[in-house]
Amino acid sequence: MLTRPRMAGFGLALLVAALDRIVKAIMVGPLMLRERGVIDLIPMFDLRYAENYGVSFGMFTATSLEMRYGLIVVTGIIAIGVAVWMLRESVRGDLLALGLVLGGALGNIYDRIRLGYVIDYADLHIGEWRPFAIFNLADVAITFGVLILLARSFKSREKPHDSGDHTATENA
């Protein structure tokens, strides 16, 4: 059943996917980042055009059409799994985190289907050192969604219960 929190989670997923599409369109359209290569913004952050044929950090790079379709299928299955999880989840915080993950996944899957690669553009660096690969809004949404889920799971670990009698204090 689509409860209000689930609808909010799916709505967030659609919003993230739409924003990802808009930002990528701006990068390759008006900003002409593909042609320019790099736009220097501040000393630690640039816009740098990159085509990611793999997944995170360029792992599992699709070097053939079959591998490209394989990545699409695998990421699609993961996205479906997240959507099913959302349909079964009832905790609002988890639903919103899953919405971030699903929206980011949909944004990157769209690129992979349409272009054969994912457009990345955000380059966070300190001098020549890059603590992260070049990334995009969808990657940020996925990362934050996973971090929220992890934080919430650590926070909600079962705590030991005191089996003592509390009736005296509860009735006071």
Residue 120 annotated among the catalytic residues of the structure: yes
Give how far Cα 73 sits from Cα of 56, 68, 109, 112, 136, Å: 16, 9, 9, 11, 21
Identify the active-site residue in 20, 120, 123, 165. 120
Q: What is the pLDDT of residues 52-90, one digit of tens each?
A: 998 765 667 787 889 899 999 999 999 999 999 999 999
Identify the active-site residue in 20, 139, 162, 165. 139
Which stretch of 1-15, 28-42, 69-83, 152-166 has the lowest confidence by average pLDDT?
Answer: 152-166
pTM over 0.75: yes
Residue 139 annotated among the catalytic residues of the structure: yes
Question: Cα-Cα-Cα-Cα dihedral of 119, 122, 128, 130, to 10°?
Answer: -90
Which pLDDT score is estimated for 161?
Answer: 55
Q: What is the pLDDT of residues 86-138, one digit of tens each?
A: 999 999 999 999 999 999 999 999 999 999 999 999 999 998 898 888 999 99
Please identify which residue in the block is written with the tokens 């913004």. 41
How far apart, in whole angstroms, are the C-alpha atoms of residue 34 and residue 16? 23
- Locate the domains of the chain by residue range: 4-154
Task: Name residue 38's beta-bridge partners.
Answer: 48
How far apart, in whole angstroms, are the C-alpha atoms of residue 51 and residue 57? 11
Of 162, 118, 105, nearest to 27 by C-alpha is 118
Q: What is the pLDDT of residues 25-42, one digit of tens each?
A: 999 999 999 999 999 999
Which pLDDT score is estimated for 58?
Answer: 60
